[in-house]
């Protein structure tokens, strides 16, 4: 849900131009999550609950710090804690704030069959408009990051909005405001990349030679990016996809095959119509009836039925 | 039309078979319309026929199940008559004679011709594919039990099977209009002896032989 509607670049299940008269003066935005600064305090989770007025069900402790253990329709961001024993034998506690990555090429939007249920704004935010959601779950199949969750109560899909309502009026997302260590920062994507480059240089100077920015090109880049100590092994961070892209299967299902299949079905129907126009009915006439009668008579008499002498060539 | 009234008729489909066929047809039309609504944005308006997009996504899997359940007795009743034989492949190879109404050049046809048997095969295969992939895709009840890769594969398979089935049924519907007397056979159950003689001669012989058991088949 969002306040603006003049700056849409993509809209699900829509084949005509989007209302896009307004362009963001500063360019697309991005959230930068610096995993190297994160202390796992979950203030961002609380801020998300508070701003979006969401209260998840109280669950049970599953033996790790992840709480809740997974994203849900009411928990749009979750800290994921991973224990990694590095080659030196030291334990590294890798904490990643999980949630929607706001892909430049969003798989959810590509898969969605309901017009306007998913939109992408010119500032890069990918937003669900739940009043248009039909609950089919195609967005889940389309998402390369396993983010959308369908509510068990209302059967609509929910995920992080990147606080599109706050960003629309010049505020930063709620989670950014709550972060006590500066692990979360928000600004234009350009600025965030510059900031990330400084962080990466700093990390490299302190021995993290593989430090880097996670802005995966397979989905056209994302509007939520990570600074990782081990950018060469994103999977260490609770299974962050090393090379995310829209699945080839989803591409086939929702790509060129759609218009081709539609055209082929229309052509099949048209082929029937023109066959009728050019060739016409296959009819039986009196000669067939006569032949059949002779066949019946022959059967009554017990004679074998030969070929119909009146058979047309 | 007096001679038509006097003309004997041959029963081709009993009341049970006809009812069964049209229940499957009803299920197919509803499943196809609701499925197409979710397949391409240009057809999303079809979801209005079912109340809304949300109702369409709720109802579509149940409609599909309905079609499948009513198809089972129909399939069982026509299964034996739809086994492909060498003459059926020959019939299919003479595709050009078929579409140009040159039936006299074709091999004799039993209760079903090669095209009808091929259609039956396509329906059975596609419905099986639609059922399996549809269950995997059924978000409300089953998707949570399957890995995401399988759900994606099922989504593609579901679309492919539905596409093939819809094309096949379009041909089936046209064939019923094209071969005069077929639609009447499925609506009222009977055909004229001439119709049976012309289009399904081996079947005609079989039923005349059955009616007059003293005779032997040639």
CB contact under 8 A, A132 and B53: yes
Nearest to A299 among B53, B178, B208 (CB): B208
DSSP state of A242: S
User: What 3-state DSSP class applies to B154?
Assistant: helix
Mean pLDDT of A20-43: 92
pLDDT band, very low/low/confident/very high, at A304 (cuts 50, 70, 90): low
| pLDDT exceeds cutoff 90 at B65 | yes
Closest CA to B211 of B26, B8, B41: B8
CB contact under 8 A, A284 and B180: yes
Reading the block at residue A164, the tokens are: 């599109």
pLDDT band, very low/low/confident/very high, at A313 (cuts 50, 70, 90): very low
Task: Tell me the chain A residues in contact with residue B155 when contact means C-beta distances shorter than 8 Å.
Answer: 111, 138, 141, 249-250, 253
Any idea which residue has 């890769």 for tokens?
B149
CB contact under 8 A, A253 and B159: yes
ipTM for the predicted complex: 0.88
CB contact under 8 A, B139 and A280: no
CB contact under 8 A, B54 and A304: no
The answer to whether B118 and B91 are in contact (CB under 8 A) is: no
For A221-258, write each residue's pLDDT tens digit.
999 999 999 999 999 999 999 999 999 999 999 988 89
The answer to whether A251 and A58 are in contact (CB under 8 A) is: no
Candidates A136, A158, A280, partner chain B, best to mutate (most B CBs within 10 A): A136
Nearest to A312 among B104, B167, B171 (CB): B104
For B96-154, write each residue's pLDDT tens digit.
999 999 999 999 999 999 999 999 999 999 999 999 999 999 999 999 999 999 999 99
Output the pLDDT for position A241.
96
DSSP state of A118: E
Nearest to B38 among A136, A286, A299 (CB): A136
Residue B2 CB contacts under 8 Å (≥ 6 apart), including other chains:
none
Output the pLDDT for position A181.
97
Catalytic site positions of B: 172
Question: Cα(B147)–Cα(A52) distance, rounded to whole angstroms?
Answer: 30
| pLDDT exceeds cutoff 80 at B34 | yes
pLDDT band, very low/low/confident/very high, at B218 (cuts 50, 70, 90): very low
Distances (CA, A) of A40 to A5, A95, A195, A227, B130: 35, 6, 21, 15, 45
Closest CA to A264 of B129, B26, B167: B167
Closest CA to B186 of B114, B112, B100, B96: B112
Q: Could you count the other beta carbons within 10 Å of the beta carbon of residue A111?
A: 27
Contacting A residues, span 62-121, partner chain B, CB-CB under 8 Å: 111, 113-115
Size of interface A-B (CB pairs under 8 A): 180
Instruction: Give the CA radius of gyration of chain B.
Output: 20
Residue A295 CB contacts under 8 Å (≥ 6 apart), including other chains:
A305, A308, B193, B197, B204, B205, B208
Closest CA to B42 of A260, A157, A7: A260
pLDDT band, very low/low/confident/very high, at A4 (cuts 50, 70, 90): low
Mean pLDDT of B16-41: 97
Helices marked H in A117-243: 138-142, 164-167, 174-178, 189-205
Q: Chain A: nearest CA to B73, how far in angstroms?
A: 28
Q: Which residue of A has its CA nearest to B195?
A: A284
Output the pLDDT for position A21.
85
Mean pLDDT of chain A: 92
Fold for A8-245, please state it.
Answer: Alpha-Beta Plaits (3.30.70)
Output the pLDDT for position A1.
45
CB contact under 8 A, B193 and A258: no
Task: Tell me the chain A residues in contact with residue B192 when contact means C-beta distances shorter than 8 Å.
Answer: 284, 289, 292
pTM score, whole prediction? 0.90
CB contact under 8 A, A115 and B44: yes
| pLDDT exceeds cutoff 90 at B174 | yes
């Amino acid at each position: 849900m969002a306040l603006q509607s003049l700056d849409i670049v993509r809209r699900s299940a829509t084949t005509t131009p989007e209302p896009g008269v307004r362009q963001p003066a500063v360019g697309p935005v991005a959230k930068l999550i610096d995993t190297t600064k994160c202390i796992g305090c979950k203030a961002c989770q609380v801020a998300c609950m508070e701003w979006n007025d969401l209260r998840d069900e109280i669950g049970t402790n599953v033996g790790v710090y992840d709480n809740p253990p997974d994203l849900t329709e009411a928990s749009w961001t979750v800290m994921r804690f991973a224990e990694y024993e590095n080659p030196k034998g030291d334990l590294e506690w890798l904490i990643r704030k999980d949630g929607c990555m706001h892909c430049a090429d969003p798989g959810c939007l590509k898969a969605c069959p309901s017009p306007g249920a998913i939109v992408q704004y010119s500032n890069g935010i990918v937003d669900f408009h739940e009043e248009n959601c039909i609950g089919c779950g195609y967005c889940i199949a389309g998402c390369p990051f396993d983010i959308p969750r369908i509510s068990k109560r209302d059967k609509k899909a929910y995920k992080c909005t990147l606080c599109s309502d706050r960003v629309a009026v010049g505020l930063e997302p709620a989670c950014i405001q709550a972060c006590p260590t500066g692990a979360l920062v928000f600004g234009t994507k350009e600025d965030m990349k510059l900031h990330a480059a400084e962080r990466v240089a700093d990390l490299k100077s302190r021995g993290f030679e593989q430090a880097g920015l996670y802005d995966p090109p397979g989905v056209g880049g994302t509007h939520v990016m990570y600074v990782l100590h081990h950018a060469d092994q994103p999977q260490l961070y609770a299974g962050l996809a090393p090379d995310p892209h829209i699945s080839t299967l989803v591409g086939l299902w929702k790509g060129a095959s759609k218009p081709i299949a539609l055209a082929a079905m229309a052509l099949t129907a048209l082929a029937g119509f023109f066959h009728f126009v050019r060739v016409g009915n296959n009819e039986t006439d009196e000669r067939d009836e006569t032949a059949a009668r002779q066949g019946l008579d022959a059967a009554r008499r017990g004679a074998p039925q030969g070929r119909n002498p009146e058979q047309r060539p | 039309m007096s001679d038509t009234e006097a003309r004997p008729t041959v029963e081709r489909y009993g009341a049970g078979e006809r009812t069964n066929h049209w229940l499957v047809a009803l299920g197919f039309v509803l499943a196809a319309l609701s499925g197409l609504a979710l397949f391409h944005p240009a057809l999303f308006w079809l979801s209005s026929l079912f109340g809304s997009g949300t109702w369409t996504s709720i109802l579509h899997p149940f409609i599909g199940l309905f079609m499948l359940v009513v198809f089972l007795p129909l399939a069982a009743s026509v299964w034996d008559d739809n086994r492909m034989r060498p003459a059926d492949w020959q019939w299919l190879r003479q595709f050009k004679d078929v579409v140009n109404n040159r039936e006299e050049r074709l091999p004799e046809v039993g209760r079903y011709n090669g095209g009808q048997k091929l259609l039956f095969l396509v329906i059975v295969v596609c419905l099986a594919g639609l059922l399996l992939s549809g269950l995997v895709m059924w978000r409300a009840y089953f998707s949570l039990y399957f890995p995401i890769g399988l759900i994606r594969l099922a989504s593609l398979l579901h679309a492919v099977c539905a596409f093939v089935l819809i094309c096949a049924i379009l041909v089936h519907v046209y064939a019923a209009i094209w071969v005069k007397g077929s639609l009447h056979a499925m609506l009222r159950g009977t055909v004229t002896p001439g119709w049976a003689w012309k289009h399904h001669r081996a079947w005609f012989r079989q039923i005349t032989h059955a009616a007059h058991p003293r005779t032997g088949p040639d």
